Amino acid sequence: MTSRLKFGWLSPVIGNRWSDHQPIVMYQEQHILPTALAHFDSLWIADHFYGFDAKTDPFMEAWTTLTWLAAKFPDVLLCHHVLGVGYRPPALTAKMASSLQTLSGGRFILGIGAGWREDEYLAYGYDFPRPSVRFEQLEETIEICRRMWTDSDATFHGKHFHIDGAAASPLPDVVPPICIGAAGEQIGLPMVGRLADMWNGPSRGTEDDWRRRLDIVQSSAAATGRDPVNIEISTTLERALPETDAESAEFLDLLARKADLGVQHFVLDFGHPLTDEHVVRFVEQVMAPLRRY
């Protein structure tokens, strides 16, 4: 390892039958996050409009929720997991990002992807074009954001979007890094190599799958004159907190193997822990040894 490992906490915004239909993030804000975020590097919120069991289940909007948490927890990085590019116009995304970056003191990372949930797009009246078009839209959105974050009179005319003299004032003192969530080997991963400051890659698949995807990212970066080392590598895991020494050892081994494969930033979705007892166990028995790794 050449850099300190980072750990992100993904707080679920859904409320379901296991949480008595209270959004889990609201419970965690009171009972879990004050303990957890004293030790974690980043806080992540998913971007969907409704849940996966029933549309009537509460599901909090991503920007609103992350902004609420940014005010309550002033010492962690903030990222969406990840924004669907088609859910908001690019210039609005740029403006919201610059505002949150200013309000949070430079802690915001723009996590964004091409979107995948067709039923959600259509339910909200949004177009859902084929993947190649969505990735074209993503590339133009990233270009618009970066222009609006650095130019108070930004102009861009693309195939899908345009701006004419758009401003995102106050321009952020720290331009938000861009994290792209992608897995596609033909379009998505080469785009990560060309454009992203951070990649959130899938945890599913074999170790060979991961090595192949990472190689695409890094070789694509090098091909465009970028140093691949400047792309931070992250992945997301959904797994309950360990409740025994044996479970901690198993979790530690899993993350150590992934660190050996190049993962630098773990984004962890622990579901709905009811107390912070096992958070402390995870910090002491998993995170602390990995920080020394």
pLDDT at 2: 43
pLDDT at 3: 64
Q: How many residues does the chain have?
A: 293
Helices 131-150 and 188-195, axial angle in degrees (round to 10): 10
SS (H, E, C) 166-208: ECCCCCCCCCCCEEEECCCCCCHHHHHHHHCCEEEECCCCCHH
- Angstrom CA distances, 49 to 23, 53, 200, stand at 13, 13, 21
Delineate the domains of the chain, giving CATH numbers in brackets.
Answer: 6-291 (3.20.20.30)
pLDDT at 292: 85
List, in sequence order, every residue forming a beta bridge with 184; answer none if it has no partner: none
Q: Provide the terminal-to-terminal Cα distance of the chain, rounded to the nearest Å.
A: 7
| Runs of H (alpha helix) within 73-130 | 90-103, 118-123
Contacts of 196 (CB under 8 A, 6+ apart): 178, 179, 180, 231
Helices 90-103 and 62-72, axial angle in degrees (round to 10): 10
pLDDT band at 203 (very low <50, low <70, confident <90, very high): very high
Mean pLDDT in residue range 145-171: 97
Long-range contacts from 155-163, C-beta under 8 angstroms, 24+ separation? 160/133, 160/136, 161/89, 161/90, 161/91, 161/137, 163/90, 163/91
**DSSP track, 232-276:** EEEEEEE-PPP-SHHHHHHHHHHHHHHHHTT--EEEEE----SSS
| Residue showing tokens 């992100």 | 8
**Whole-angstrom distance, CA of residue 59 vs CA of residue 33:** 19
pLDDT of 25-76, one tens digit each? 999 999 999 999 999 999 999 999 999 988 999 999 999 999 999 999 999 9
Q: Examine residue 170 and say whether the peptide bond preceding it is cis (omega within 30 degrees of 0).
A: yes
pLDDT exceeds 90 at position 293: no
pLDDT of 88-135, one tens digit each? 999 999 999 999 999 999 999 999 999 999 999 999 999 999 999 999
- Angstrom CA distances, 81 to 46, 61, 78, 111, 195, stand at 4, 12, 10, 6, 18
**Whole-angstrom distance, CA of residue 233 vs CA of residue 235:** 7
pLDDT of 279-290, one tens digit each? 999 999 999 999
Mean pLDDT of all residues in the chain?
Answer: 97
pLDDT exceeds 90 at position 1: no
State if pTM tops 0.95: yes
Contacts of 123 (CB under 8 A, 6+ apart): 49, 50
Phi-psi region of 162 (alpha: psi -120 to 50; beta: other; left: phi over 0): beta
Percent of the chain at pLDDT exceeding 70? 99
